[in-house]
């Protein structure tokens, strides 16, 4: 059963991303259209502030990312990378668009890596992904 606290957290997360995600996307798209890297950087900063805002909401509610949130974040990052690479290889992107894309992907990877490193520590982050074989391989 969903509690009031879970509903409040969901509203806070959604509101955070509605503000910072929409603003970030708008600035990024406008910066690309006008070929202004500085405008795109404002959008990238807004997206990263949205991620930090999500961390603050999680901290306030003593929660961590749900499986759905983690899956959505990774799927979104994968889609951004795929769309950028395909666009870069198949069309003539402007220099500003390439800089924006690389900066966005790098910023998202850096923010995600910093979260994992600070949340679990470097050793703990590695152990979250690397599990020993159930058959005892490697001994």
Name the residue among 21, 16, 24 with its Cα closest to residue 100: 24
Which has the higher per-residue pLDDT, 6 or 117?
6
- Kindly report the pTM of this predicted structure: 0.82
Q: Identify whether 104 is part of a domain.
A: yes
Q: Identify whether 51 is part of a domain.
A: yes
Q: What is the pLDDT of residues 104-135, one digit of tens each?
A: 999 999 998 888 888 877 676 666 666 666 66
- State the residue range of the domain holding 122: 4-129
Distance between CA atoms of 3 and 130, rounded to whole angstroms?
Answer: 34
Average pLDDT of span 44-49: 96
CA distances from 110 to 17, 76, 131, 133 (A): 19, 15, 24, 29
Q: Identify whether 82 is part of a domain.
A: yes
Q: Identify whether 137 is part of a domain.
A: no
Query: How many structural domains does the chain have?
Result: 1
Q: Identify whether 139 is part of a domain.
A: no
Q: Identify whether 36 is part of a domain.
A: yes
């Amino acid at each position: 059963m969903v509690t009031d606290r879970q509903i409040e957290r969901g509203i806070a997360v959604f509101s955070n991303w509605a503000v910072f995600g929409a603003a970030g996307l708008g600035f990024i798209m406008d910066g690309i259209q006008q070929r202004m890297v500085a405008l795109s950087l404002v959008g990238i900063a807004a997206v990263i502030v949205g991620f930090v805002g999500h961390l603050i909401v999680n901290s306030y509610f003593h929660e961590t990312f749900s499986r759905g949130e983690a899956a959505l974040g990774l799927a979104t990052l994968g889609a951004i990378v795929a769309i950028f690479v395909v666009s870069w290889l198949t069309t003539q992107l402007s220099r500003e668009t390439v800089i924006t894309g690389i900066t966005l992907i790098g910023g998202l990877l850096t923010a995600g890596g910093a979260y994992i490193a600070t949340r679990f520590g470097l050793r703990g982050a590695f152990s979250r992904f690397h599990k020993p074989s159930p058959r005892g391989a490697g001994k």
